[in-house]
Amino acid sequence: MSVQVVVLAAGLGKRMRSDLPKVLHPLAGLPLLSHVLAAARSLSPSRLCVVVGHGGAAVREALDAPDLQWATQEPQLGTGHAVMQALPHLEAGGTALVLYGDVPLIAPRTLRSLVEAAAGGALAILTQRLDPPRGYGRIVRDDGGRVVRIVEERDATEAERAITEVNTGILAVSRERLDAWLAALRNDNAQREYYLTDVVGAAVGAGVEIAVRHPAADHECIGVNSKGELARLERLYQMTKANELLEAGVTLADPARIDVRGELTCGRDVSIDVNCIFEGRVSLGDGARIGAGCILRDVAVGARAEIKPYCVIEEAEIGGNARIGPFARIRPGTRLEDEVHVGNFVEVKASTLGRASKANHLSYIGDTTVGRDVNVGAGTITCNYDGANKHRTVIEDDVHIGSDVQLIAPVTVGRGATIAAGATIVKDVPPGGLTLTEARQVTRSNWERPRKKK
């Protein structure tokens, strides 16, 4: 069965008090609208149309993709009017599904249930019970329990406002029926708008079955209209992710203090301490341990590796049994092989460190290829930038570098070499032996320290 999806994303979002269009505000590191589009794409729709209005150019620039059709609602005259703008972008036939760009947690299985309910010619609507139901349209049923209409809160009577079954706004129906019902909409209501919900009355009048479905979880249909609601959804999302990790056997020091802003996959016996943030695609191998306050973005961590507290690691590979941190920064393009140690206040960028190599203290390694079993002393710096261009350093296997050494790239240090503390290396170092830059120690006994001017 062909499914076509319309996502309404034209709202201003006044209560967000922001210049950023509402649907671009981030939830779990991605725009609200991105979450909705991901759920829609799970259905493999033949058409996926986003209706924009306020900030439409910014929304399109941020999220445009080959599978998206774009429609503009100007002026904004209600949800029914918004769907009308999408019709020219849809195919004839099939089922039309209407979603909302500020309802980000809707689950694919809920949408599949709704589409399946509409497959036999019914109008399928998604409802849920809320107490209190403030702000939502109410589902009005007859004495036999059949849905007869949806009334918006501002147009409802006192008795209707007491109804706790509410409309989520999400619905599915055949494309042909949607066309006919939208063409018949009227705006004789308090807001002078064309309500999509009025298609329920049209369905009743035409004797069309109204199939009601409910979300698998209540939070799926919560919309975002303020920063407070956005923060609430963020916590709901993160607790859901935390529970999934716990069910998979991951040890979380505190499930309320983890943020997954992308895709996190974990092997067996992984442990994660508090206040860690995972962005993009992160994989943690069996037995990996992540210390408190770490930030990992697009990182693969090998089995039994330990990332100690307060490390920032981006676009990197960490080998098995590696030891990183605390307070280390691993920048994009870095590969640390098995059993590598990178210690406190060490920064590594666009470099490879071979098996069992170590840089334990206060060093910068940039644009460098480091071999196996290398020891980098405290305070060592690879000087990779000449003010205009980056240059590469090569340190071969079994090199020992003393403290406070500067390696002026481009330079190669041969296998088995030792570089004495304080050396400034400006040309290639041959294999083996000790390399140092000698200087005579001088004391000037008559020298006086500078004094501050009064």
To the query of whether residue 391 is one of the catalytic residues in this protein, the response is no
- The answer to whether the Cα torsion of 157, 161, 164, 169 is positive or negative is positive
Whether residue 354 contacts residue 397, with contact meaning beta carbons closer than 8 Å, is answered with yes
Q: What is the DSSP letter of 246?
A: H
**Single-letter code of the amino acid located at 96:** A
- Distance, in Å, from the CA atom of 235 to the CA atom of 233, rounded to the nearest integer, reads 5
**Would you state the structure tokens that stand for residue 71, as one six-digit string?**
């429609």
| Element of type H or E holding 86 | helix 79-86
- Beta bridge partners of residue 172, listed in sequence order: 97, 124
Whether residue 354 contacts residue 338, with contact meaning beta carbons closer than 8 Å, is answered with no
- Distance, in Å, from the CA atom of 172 to the CA atom of 161, rounded to the nearest integer, reads 25
Whether residue 221 contacts residue 128, with contact meaning beta carbons closer than 8 Å, is answered with yes
Coarse DSSP helix, strand, coil percentages of the chain, rounded to the nearest 5 percent: 20, 35, 45
**Single-letter code of the amino acid located at 1:** M
Contacts 24+ apart (CB under 8 A), 414-422: 415/371, 421/377
**Catalytic residue from among 89, 214, 219, 361:** 361
**Single-letter code of the amino acid located at 351:** S
List, by residue number, the catalytic residues.
Answer: 361
